[in-house]
Amino acid sequence: MPDEVPAIAVKVCGITTVGDAIMCAEAGVQMIGLNFARESRRFIRAEAAGEIVRAVRQRFPETKCAGVFVNESRERVIALARKLKLDAVQLHGDEPPEYARALSGCFVIKAFRVGHEYDESAAAQYPASAILLDTWSGTLRGGTGETFDWSVAASLARRINRVVLAGGLTAENVTAAIRIVNPSGVDVCSGVEDAPGRKSAAKLRRFLEGVREGGTVPA
């Protein structure tokens, strides 16, 4: 059991093995992300994802499981969400608002990549349960290991609740990021890995310590 569960929600994305999923759940991570985007270095097939979800639910029913999709058909998203009984669906592509509205009944996390085309009003008005801000890249949809200007996320967090901060977060910078942005949650992927899709217990432990420190008001 974790010594202390962070007050700020933590999502670890790019889980590819049962062992890493259980490690995250044991540490007190609130949500794990399973990446169904075929172009991702952390792509996971539905069968393997099902094994992970079942293992986590059996031992840690309070840990949530999210499916990450990029410009996928609504039919496949809905089918996988039902088949795996996912707790959340994360849309990490160019899905328009009407796409999310069609996923009625799902907890939808919509990712916006912060770059020259980022539109705060579009993010604030998007019909999702949570908005995730990630770093823009011309080649990768996520897991870049690169940060962006956190003042952009802080501005959105002042307008809406449930802002999740992602993009290059590590044990070394997450405390400062939380204090600047004041998000409802943080999303980490490469920052707790030894290699793409292979999580590190030591890095995760230090990351969670940084989250706890970030959620504490300095004396």
Is 1 domain-assigned? no
SS3 content of the chain, % helix, strand, coil (to 5): 35, 20, 40
Quote the pLDDT of residue 43. 96
Q: Which residues are catalytic?
A: 13, 134
Beta carbons within 8 Å of 35's beta carbon, 6+ residues apart: 13, 14, 42, 43, 44, 68
Is 79 domain-assigned? yes
Count of H-run helices and E-run strands, the chain:
8, 10
- Residue 185 belongs to what H/E stretch? strand 185-188
Q: In the structure encoding, which two tokens stand for residue 55, read together? A: 């293992």
Quote the pLDDT of residue 134. 95
- Tally of domains in the chain: 1
CA distance 22 to 28: 10
Q: Are 41 and 76 in contact (CB under 8 A)?
A: no
Q: What is the CA radius of gyration of the chain?
A: 16
Report the CATH number that the domain containing residue 51 is assigned in CATH. Answer: 3.20.20.70
- Domain span at residue 19 reads 9-214
Q: In the structure encoding, which two tokens stand for residue 9, read together? A: 């929600």
Quote the pLDDT of residue 206. 97
The burial of 39, by beta-carbon neighbours within 10 Å (0-12 exposed, 13-18 middle, 19 or more buried), is given as: exposed
Quote the pLDDT of residue 104. 85
pTM value is 0.91
Residue 113: beta bridge partners? Answer: 134
Is 18 domain-assigned? yes
Work out the number of other CB atoms within 10 angstroms of the CB of residue 219: 3
Quote the pLDDT of residue 141. 54
Is 2 domain-assigned? no
Per-10-residue mean pLDDT, the chain, length 219: 64 98 97 95 96 98 97 96 96 96 94 93 97 78 74 97 96 97 96 95 97 72
Quote the pLDDT of residue 212. 94
Quote the pLDDT of residue 169. 97
Quote the pLDDT of residue 215. 77
Is 183 domain-assigned? yes
